Amino acid sequence: MNNFTISRTFDAPRSLVFKCWVVPEHFEKWGLAPAGCKCRLLHADVRPGGYYIIQQEGPSDNPICSKVEFQQINPIDQLVFVVSLCDAKGEVITNPFFPDWPRRLLTTVDFEDDGSGTKVTVLWDLLEDATAVEVAFFMKNLEIGQQGWSETFDRLQKTIDGVEP
């Protein structure tokens, strides 16, 4: 099985947590980015077939962009999208930090009630176009996803805390 899963429970209702993923002004505050990054949406079209282009700038890095291509949007239950690094126009690029990292990952985000909060589970699946080198690197380096998503979830929590339900 070539995938990665991570979950976190947020102290907020499912509708609010989901809102922070699909309302551009909220998403831009955390934008799938790890700690220390600033995000800016260059493009926001939240619908199946639409996409985000997120420009992320770290404390000492040149800006890098990510593309989130929405496949499915099931309000307050699930998002399915393909995520990749890209240039400012949305063309997929190789990861400059980890050149063997998969160029595109199918991402499924499930939102479920968990007591008084919302459990968010992110599943990354390799796509059929992943090369053998990308598959091997991905499976050997899942801690990259663990660290990145942990920091991203921290940023998401801060955003949730600042949004009215």
- Say yes or no to pLDDT of 86 above 90: yes
| Location of structure tokens 């990952």 | 105
- Say yes or no to pLDDT of 1 above 70: no
- Say yes or no to pLDDT of 58 above 90: no
Find the domain containing 108 and state its range: 3-161
Cα 113 → chain centroid: 20
CATH label of the domain that carries residue 33: 3.30.530.20
Number of domains in the chain: 1
In our burial notation (b when 16+ CB lie closer than 10 A, e otherwise), range 101-134 reads bbbbbbbbbbbeeeeebbbbebbbbbeeebeeeb
Note the pLDDT tens digit of each residue in 132-157: 999 999 999 888 888 889 999 999 99
Q: What pTM was estimated for this model as a whole?
A: 0.94
Classify strands 117-126 and 64-74 as parallel, antiparallel or unpaired: unpaired
Note the pLDDT tens digit of each residue in 9-52: 999 999 999 999 999 999 999 988 888 888 999 999 999 999 99
Give the neighbor-by-neighbor strand order of the sheet with 104-114: 3-10, 117-126, 104-114, 78-86, 64-74, 51-57, 38-44
Predicted pLDDT at 66: 94
From CA 65, how far away is CA 14, in angstroms rounded? 28
Q: Are 44 and 24 in contact (CB under 8 A)?
A: yes
- Say yes or no to pLDDT of 61 above 90: no
Helix/strand/coil (H/E/C) assignment for every residue in the chain: CCEEEEEEEECCCHHHHHHHHHCHHHHHHHCCCCCCCEEEEEEECCCCCCEEEEEEECCCCCCEEEEEEEEEEECCCEEEEEEEEECCCCCECCCCCCCCCCCEEEEEEEEEEECCEEEEEEEEEECCCCCHHHHHHHHHCHHHHHHHHHHHHHHHHHHHHCCCC
